[in-house]
Structure 1
Amino acid sequence: MTTSPHYEQQYLDLMRHIWRHGDERIDRTGVGTRSILGATMRFSLADDAVPLLTTKRVYWKVAAREMLWFLTGDTNIRELVRQGVHIWTDWPLDAYRRATGEDIDRDAFEARIVEDADFAARWGDLGPVYGAQWVNWPVYEPAGDGLYRRAEKGRNQIAELVEAIRATPGSRRLLFTGWNVAEVPNMALPPCHMTYQFQVANGRLNGLLFQRSCDLGLGFAFNIFGLSMLTRMLAQQTGLEPGEAVWQGGDVHLYLNHADLVEEQLSRVPAGAPKLRINRRPSNIFDYRIEDFEVTNYAPQSHISAPVAV
């Protein structure tokens, strides 16, 4: 009797291929990567399945808190830091060090962000990243004399997406994006997971993410969980069942200083079938709380640490 490969095997196969055959290049960070252009992976979300990596521990609550933060439209790290989420701190910390010359460590910087609202406003904002585009895409209105001014309220792509799934489930326009060409230069980091598209098929909602740039060693685990979580939330809000999560990468790479991570992870065998459940149905897509999400049957192997390239 033959059994299907574990869902994570396609990830490990892609990692092995990039590490052995990827184009070695110097990237924006100066660290260097091995890279390919174009990759696709597919994961079932049926029966509460969630494609959490099992060959290392993924701190899924951090990814969930980040996704919920995106949906608020907030672009300041203060609320994330208050929740113990540090994944966005390195960019404003680096900017602060370069601007002031102060050799402050991360803990001290985050403490000031939390304690001092003015300091947070000056140094904790990331620019118009992700959530700003998702729920408040800029709209401009005539201001007279041929001039335009930015309207106080922008387009809420997420709210419009929910309504579109309900009203026109056969549409090929069920998507949202964070890649606002005019505002990319003002972002601390241009959106990597940039465009999400959804499809209704046979009572199920399928979700696709196009990611222009993917750090396969560190970032992917959060990105695929975020796609799965958001697809499940949208399905719940629109009366559908979750179907499939499809991930597409543009520049998919492994950092050269992640050799220990790659070799260790490739030596491990994936196992298990974790489940993601939502224990409450809020009145709208923006009212979910971290307590609403529960992961069960998740027994990963130990965490593998590796540096983040800024």
Structure 2
Amino acid sequence: MVGRSEHPEAQYLGLMRGILENGDERVDRTGVGTRSIFGATARFDLSNGTAPIITTKRVSWKTSVKEMLWFLTGETNIQALLRENVRIWTDWPLATYRRETGEDIEQAVFEHRIVEDDDFAARWGELGPVYGKQWRRWVGPDGREHDQIAQLVTTLKNNPSSRRMLFHAWNVAELGDMALPPCHMVYQFHVTSDGRLNCLMFQRSVDVFLGLPFNLVGATVLQLMLAQQADLKPGEFVWMSGDTHLYLNHLNQAREQLAREPRPFPRIRLTRRPESIDGYRIDDFEVEGYDPHPAIKADVAV
């Protein structure tokens, strides 16, 4: 057993405990209410092959990887996600459908229609210009599209000492058209003189119980893919946040999780090297030694 104080997951557990004990309680956009702090940081060393996949509850890491791969396609419709059995984005278009049609449709029925009916999906499965659109098809004032990911890969290969290796999704002109404005909004990269790729990801807002474990996995696999494409070694992943909160309907679940001892982080590796950043598939990711505590259920605040 790895001691809690020495385990990198202790950063996550300490953050959750600090919010429970010292967080500011207030009403939020969803109406559920949160207990929050402002400003947090955690650091994870990826150089030894381990990944920050939380062990004090089971995290569906494949779902997080599939979401990241979906972001990289530039797509913004949930149909592709649902066809991969990923349902984490359904709540927002489902809420829109119910509100605009007055039909109290069951989620499973709604998802089935999205998968099977392309016209229905085009009308009701669209999330607006969210992450993938901004990452891969940011539109400038002259109408030209900018592929931030492709440019990042080029810079990593040709000018790794650059201090401008970053991408973001906070497109002010299009925020109002998004189902949900970007939470993990800025990624910045740094290459050391011995060829290690470091990543810093900033979140303006983070649901610590449900969202953060997914965000850690997504950012980690993105860093691994970029490192492989640029012939670099994985280095450190630095996570930072602004509004860092627990929803009030997650407090008991957080206490349950805090009563558990973390287990060793699993190892993660890429099983092949595609020709480009666009070539990765879920089968290219292999996780070994993941032995988490049981999952803890909690509702998403929409």
TM normalised by structure 1 equals 0.95
Match of 1:229 among 214, 221, 228: 221
Which structure has the greater CA radius of gyration? Answer: 1
The residue aligned with 2:209 is 217
Unaligned runs of 5+ in 2: none
Residue identity opposite 2:199 in structure 1: G
Distance 2:170 2:164 in 1: 16
* 2:292 matches 1:300: yes
Deviation (angstroms), 1:139: 2.4
* 2:147 matches 1:156: yes
Correspondence list, 1:276-287, <5 A: 276-287=268-279
* 2:181 matches 1:180: no
Deviation (angstroms), 1:168: 1.1
The residue aligned with 1:105 is 106
Correspondence list, 1:81-230, <5 A: 81-141=82-142, 150-151=143-144, 154-201=145-192, 202-230=194-222
Deviation (angstroms), 1:272: 1.3
Q: Secondary structure at the match of 1:140?
A: coil
The residue aligned with 2:53 is 52
Correspondence list, 1:29-48, <5 A: 29-48=30-49
Distance 1:222 1:296 in 2: 18
Q: Secondary structure at the match of 1:294?
A: strand
The residue aligned with 1:270 is 262
Distance 2:50 2:20 in 1: 28
Residue identity opposite 2:232 in structure 1: L
Distance 1:260 1:76 in 2: 34
Deviation (angstroms), 1:62: 0.2
Distance 1:22 1:279 in 2: 42
Root mean square deviation of aligned Cα: 1.1
The residue aligned with 2:249 is 257
Distance 2:251 2:34 in 1: 11
Deviations 1:61-101 (A, max 9, x none): 00000000000000000010011100000000000000001
| Alignment coverage as a number of residue pairs | 299
Deviation (angstroms), 1:276: 0.8
Deviation (angstroms), 1:185: 0.6
Q: Secondary structure at the match of 2:146?
A: coil
Distance 2:276 2:85 in 1: 26
Distance 1:131 1:6 in 2: 33
Distance 1:186 1:248 in 2: 26
State the identity as a percent: 60
Distance 1:107 1:55 in 2: 29
Q: Secondary structure at the match of 1:246?
A: strand
Distance 1:259 1:41 in 2: 21
C-alpha contact (below 8 Å) 2:54/2:265 kept by paired residues = no
Deviation (angstroms), 1:140: 3.5
Q: Secondary structure at the match of 2:51?
A: coil
Runs of at least 4 residues of structure 1 off by over 2 A?
none
Deviation (angstroms), 1:46: 1.1
Unaligned runs of 5+ in 1: 142-149
Distance 2:149 2:87 in 1: 25
Q: Secondary structure at the match of 1:206?
A: strand
The residue aligned with 1:76 is 77
Deviations 1:111-130 (A, max 9, x none): 01011111000000000000
Distance 1:203 1:127 in 2: 37
TM normalised by structure 2 equals 0.97
Match of 2:232 among 230, 236, 240: 240
Deviation (angstroms), 1:259: 1.8
Deviations 1:193-212 (A, max 9, x none): 00000000121000110000
Deviation (angstroms), 1:273: 2.6
Deviation (angstroms), 1:261: 1.0
Q: Secondary structure at the match of 1:225?
A: helix
Distance 1:199 1:261 in 2: 36
Distance 2:94 2:118 in 1: 16
